[in-house]
Amino acid sequence: MKYSILGATGYTGAELLRILANHPQVQVQYLTSENQTGAPITQVYPHLTQFYHDKMISIKEVDQIAAASDVIFACLPHGHAMAIGEKVIAAGARLIDLGADYRFSDTTIYEQWYKLKHVHENSQAVYGLTEIKRDQVKAAKIVANPGCYTTASILALTPLIQYDLVERKTLIVDAKSGVSGAGRKPETMYLICEAFENVQAYGIASHRHTPEIEQALSETAHEPVIINFTPHLIPMPRGILATCYANLKSGVTAEQVDQAFQSAYGKEFFIRLLGRGGYPATKNTRGSNFCDIAWHIDPRTNRVIVVSALDNLVKGAAGQAVQNMNVMFGLDEKTGLMQAPLYP
């Protein structure tokens, strides 16, 4: 299969290239970048030397790129992918958007949170959280790759909602992200002098991943679900750790919680259940497409606490995009994604 990456010089684009270098079923066609046009990709990212040799960053038009590609990965700021979606589909290619443009079934929610007019309504895009939407992803022309915080949070909470074990008005997500989650941009908050030896909450009650998490949980619940979501920046390059809280319904036992997670994910290769009492850690998933999940029951407060850990650039972005691509084209879902986590 032939693939192209729009926005190949961001962190997610570079991670896609790293993963796809070991994918036996794909071949790169075009790489684009707004500010590195004409440069070899290995000049921008020397760690890719010997994998992409003299592959140049292109300035081809989208319809020309789509005509030469089976799948296009859009690693672009919000507002850009929806402007090209129709052209990609018309050319016969499939689109996997690693941005936010296609993540909401109700485009008015996108417009409210992203302050942009949505220009590709009725796109029939599928929200590509593979373990939950696998059947829909198979037939999709456009897949909206979930965000990193959202992947960690939705996977952690879905079994509790699916099996009706918690009070849905009590959901709280407290999550931490490495600096790469903000992308490759020179903003003060992400400079080493600002981020090093510092932990900082941000986007309290206003982060754009909030409605994305709520949408997925609401679909599972078949009724509106509202959460409190607080993200934090921590001084490391990669990783997401989400600690999620909910009040258990009266009479729910720890064994029922155990069974819910086993029923939901017991057969999922990329979700590793550490069980009741486990402690997921970001270092155990770094560089891999795994999401580690564990849960604890607090009988004093009658709460369940679910902890999930993943690599924000892999399962939270590029790895999940490759997983979705594999599903879309009928390949083994694990193809190209069998890297063990990097440790230490």
> What pLDDT was estimated at residue 43?
94
- Do 51 and 163 belong to one domain? no
Q: What is the pLDDT of residue 247?
A: 98
> Is-catalytic flag, 193?
no
The answer to whether position 138 is within a domain reads no
Residue 94 lies in a domain: yes
**What pLDDT does 91 receive?**
96
List the catalytic residue out of 75, 148, 244, 291: 148
Q: How far apart, in whole angstroms, are the C-alpha atoms of residue 175 and residue 57? A: 35
Burial 91-114 (b: 16+ CB within 10 A, else e): bebbbbbbbbbbbbeebebbeebb
Residues 54 and 14 in one domain: yes
Q: How many domains does the chain contain in total? A: 2
The CA angle 229-230-234, to the nearest 5 degrees, is: 140
Tell me, yes or no, whether 154 and 105 share the same domain: no
DSSP letter for each residue of 75-132: ---TTSGGGTHHHHHHTT-EEEE-SSTTS-SSHHHHHHHH-S--S-TT---EE--HHH
Burial class (CB in 10 A: 0-12, 13-18, 19+), 289: buried
CATH code of the domain containing 49? 3.40.50.720
pLDDT digits (tens, 9 = 90+) for 91-140: 999 999 999 999 999 999 999 999 999 999 999 999 999 999 999 999 99
Structure tokens at 268: 């999922």
Q: Is residue 57 part of a domain?
A: yes
Looking at residue 187, what is its pLDDT?
84
User: What SS3 class is residue 64?
Assistant: helix
Neighbours of 267 (CB within 10 A): 9
* Contacts with 249 (C-beta within 8 Å, 6 or more apart), sequence order: 164, 165, 166, 167
115 and 155 share one domain: no
Residue 88's pLDDT is: 97
The pLDDT of residue 186 is: 77
- Cβ contacts of 50 within 8 Å, gap of 6 or more: none
Take residue 67 and report the two structure tokens written for it: 């005509």
For residues 173 and 262, membership in a common domain is answered with yes
Task: Give me the pLDDT at residue 100, please.
Answer: 97
Same-domain check for residues 303 and 176? yes
95 and 225 in one domain? no
116 and 176 housed in the same domain:
no
Q: Is residue 318 part of a domain?
A: no
Would you say residue 140 lies in a domain?
A: no
Pair 67, 175 in one domain:
no
- Distance separating alpha carbons of residues 77 and 10, to the nearest angstrom: 10
**CATH classification of the domain holding 223:** 3.30.360.10
Residue 135 lies inside a defined structural domain of this protein: no
Low-confidence ranges of the chain (pLDDT < 70): none
Note whether 267 and 154 are same-domain residues.
yes
Domain coverage including residue 71: 2-123
Considering the domain architecture, whether residues 155 and 285 belong to the same structural domain is answered as: yes
Same domain, 116 and 216: no
State whether the Cα torsion 270-274-275-278 is positive or negative: negative
- Residue 104 maps to a domain: yes
Sign of CA dihedral 162, 164, 165, 170: positive
